[in-house]
């Protein structure tokens, strides 16, 4: 259905800040906070989710943690005043007990998601599961089966659906503002420094120890494209490779580490000194917090001399592609292109949705969405609220997850999670298909 002819000055009602996907808990007086156990007290676990719980004692309480790193574990114990017998070294220890909490957050490395999730589902936990939900197709399907048999549930940390930006785009589509959706062009602009941090020097540099780049970085994007298309994907083709961050591209004279000192460092955009000591000098959290907990320049320089994060980007043991393009065909003739690239100035997502009666262009970093209706030709500009942590998505996710668990634990009816496991299964299968197509050069048909 085409939308009514817009006036050009029309204002859309803003989505209520921070209430995306939330459910209202029946007002029967004081409600006890949701008890939460945390597996993996790293950047996501303690800095994002632990921090949210710390700031919202009325909504949640951290009651147990599993973390092998003694410093991180001690931090969680201290901040959340955990008794010693509720601090475990690994997920296996925590989950060898009967259920210790209403909810469990799994924020371990990519390859340590599926096993704790399966065990936690058997114990009936309501799980907030970090992406990727699993790193192989078989594991994804195994998880789906286990969730169907469990009294617990899985909410996937696809944070972007909880941003006002993407929720507004979804609403514009639902309102028929551009008629029938026909094509999508979605760009994941990783940002040159972010790619160097995570995919050249950092934890996601090798597919075998983390997961394929297209899964690790773009499973959120597949999830969004699937959400916009509103139907299953039929076929996937993809190409891409590791083009630039290779030894043969090292400038003459470049040394092993940026701190050696390296004669190229002062002009190299990928210099670790530039990224961690200059560019993010005043930011105490990510990405600097990944290399050392001490934000002082001297401490960061020392960390660069010793850690993988000080290595020359042309001399790392990375193997994941630095650019990849995916073409997707959905039932009903909708087509989509996803571009994922290291070589972007900005670290943001941009999207263009083309419909029979108009076009939507969005820039997440600016929170800007412009709708171009064909009939009037008058663009409608919307500015959405962003915020810290994935443009406010981290906060929205936690709020929606805790509200839902609050209902579920009393046996009340709760709406499906905005980022349910079943939707995520679809988008993960699209990502696996993209990697298969990139490697084999063949089109992968998901509907056969
Ligand atoms: N939703 C998002 O937008 C988003 C953003 C960034 C990262 N992630 C995902 O979140 C996950 C965690 O990423 P991170 O950046 O916090 O990594 P991290 O390395 O900072 O944290 C992972 C933590 O898990 C711990 N751990 C490892 N093995 C464990 C075990 N057996 N039992 C318990 N704990 C264990 C590690 O010691 C570490 O502290 C990854 O899968 C990543 O892909 C999601």
* Residue 10 scores a pLDDT above 70: no
* Residue 6 scores a pLDDT above 50: no
Q: Confirm or reject: Cβ of 107 under 6 Å from ligand 1.
A: yes
Q: Which domain holds residue 356?
A: 161-245+318-391+424-445
Same domain, 219 and 264: no
Of ligand 1's atoms, which has the minimum distance to the CA of residue 397? 1
- Which residue has 């929205």 as its token pair? 396
Using CA atoms, how far residue 399 sits from 67, 127, 435, in Å, is 24, 14, 33
C-alpha of residue 446 to centroid of ligand 1, in Å: 30
* Residue 381 scores a pLDDT above 90: yes
Domain harbouring 180, CATH code: 3.30.360.10
Same domain, 267 and 170: no
* Residue 410 scores a pLDDT above 60: yes
* Residue 319 scores a pLDDT above 90: yes
Domain boundary among 274, 290, 310: 310
- 409 part of a folded domain: no
* Cα 348 from Cα 115, distance rounded (Å): 32
Which string of DSSP letters, residue by residue, matches 118-153?
A: HHHHHTT-EEEEPSSS-SSHHHHHHHHHHHHH-SSE
Same domain, 100 and 56: yes
Q: Confirm or reject: Cβ of 159 under 6 Å from ligand 1.
A: yes
Same domain, 75 and 117: yes
Determine which helix (DSSP H) or strand (DSSP E) holds 408, and give its type and residue range: helix 393-408
Q: Confirm or reject: Cβ of 111 under 6 Å from ligand 1.
A: no
What is the per-residue pLDDT across 303-314, written as a single tens digit (0 to 9) for each?
999 999 999 999
C-alpha of residue 107 to centroid of ligand 1, in Å: 4
Same domain, 148 and 237: no
- 365 part of a folded domain: yes
Domain boundary among 106, 131, 156: 156
* Cα 436 from Cα 428, distance rounded (Å): 12
Same domain, 270 and 186: no
Same domain, 372 and 225: yes
Same domain, 131 and 276: no
Q: Confirm or reject: Cβ of 264 under 6 Å from ligand 1.
A: no
C-alpha of residue 242 to centroid of ligand 1, in Å: 25
Same domain, 217 and 361: yes
* Cα 10 from Cα 406, distance rounded (Å): 38
Same domain, 240 and 347: yes
- DSSP 8-state assignment for residue 2: P
Q: Could you give the number of structural domains in the chain?
A: 3
Domain boundary among 130, 156, 182: 156
- 28 part of a folded domain: no
* Cα 107 from Cα 131, distance rounded (Å): 9
pLDDT band at 447 (very low <50, low <70, confident <90, very high): confident
Same domain, 228 and 366: yes
Same domain, 139 and 123: yes
What is the per-residue pLDDT across 100-115, written as a single tens digit (0 to 9) for each?
999 999 999 999 999 9
């Amino acid at each position: 259905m085409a939308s009514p002819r817009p006036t050009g000055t029309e204002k859309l009602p803003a989505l209520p800040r921070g209430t995306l996907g939330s459910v209202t808990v029946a007002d029967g007086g004081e409600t006890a906070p949701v008890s939460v156990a945390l597996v993996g007290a790293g950047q996501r676990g303690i800095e994002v989710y632990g921090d949210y719980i710390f700031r919202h004692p009325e909504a949640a309480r951290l009651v147990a943690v599993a973390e092998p790193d003694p410093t991180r574990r001690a931090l969680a114990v201290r901040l959340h005043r955990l008794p010693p017998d509720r601090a475990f070294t690994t997920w296996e220890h925590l989950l060898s007990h009967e259920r210790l909490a209403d909810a469990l957050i799994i924020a371990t490395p990519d390859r340590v998601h599926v096993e704790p999730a399966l065990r936690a589902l058997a114990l009936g936990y309501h799980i907030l599961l970090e992406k990727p939900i699993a790193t192989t197709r078989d594991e994804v399907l195994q998880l789906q089966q286990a969730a169907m048999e469990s009294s617990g549930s899985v909410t996937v940390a696809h944070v972007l659906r909880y941003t006002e930006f993407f929720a507004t785009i979804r609403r514009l589509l639902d309102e028929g503002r551009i008629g029938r959706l026909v094509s999508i062009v979605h760009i994941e602009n990783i940002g040159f420094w972010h790619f160097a941090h995570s995919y050249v020097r950092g934890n996601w540099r090798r597919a075998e120890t983390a997961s394929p780049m297209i899964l690790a970085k773009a499973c959120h994007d597949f999830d969004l494209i699937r959400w916009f298309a509103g139907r299953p994907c039929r076929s996937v083709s993809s190409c891409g490779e590791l083009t630039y961050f290779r030894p043969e591209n090292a400038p003459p004279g470049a040394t092993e580490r940026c701190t050696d000192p390296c004669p190229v460092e002062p002009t190299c955009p990928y210099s670790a000194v530039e990224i961690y000591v200059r560019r993010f000098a005043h930011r105490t959290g990510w990405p600097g917090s990944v290399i050392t907990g001490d934000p002082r320049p001297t401490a960061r320089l020392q960390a660069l001399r010793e850690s993988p994060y000080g290595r020359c980007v042309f001399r790392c043991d990375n193997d994941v592609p630095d650019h990849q393009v995916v073409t997707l065909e959905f039932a009903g003739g909708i087509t989509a292109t996803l571009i994922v690239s290291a070589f972007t100035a900005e670290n943001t997502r941009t999207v263009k949705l083309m419909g029979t009666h108009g076009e939507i262009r969005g820039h997440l970093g600016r929170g800007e969405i412009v709708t171009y209706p064909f009939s009037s030709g008058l663009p409608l500009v919307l500015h959405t609220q962003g915020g810290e942590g994935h443009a406010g998505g981290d906060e929205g996710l936690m709020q929606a997850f805790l509200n839902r668990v609050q209902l579920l634990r009393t046996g009340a009816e709760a709406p499906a999670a905005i980022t349910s496991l079943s939707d995520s299964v679809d988008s993960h299968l699209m990502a696996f298909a993209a990697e298969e197509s990139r490697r084999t050069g063949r089109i992968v048909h998901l509907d056969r």
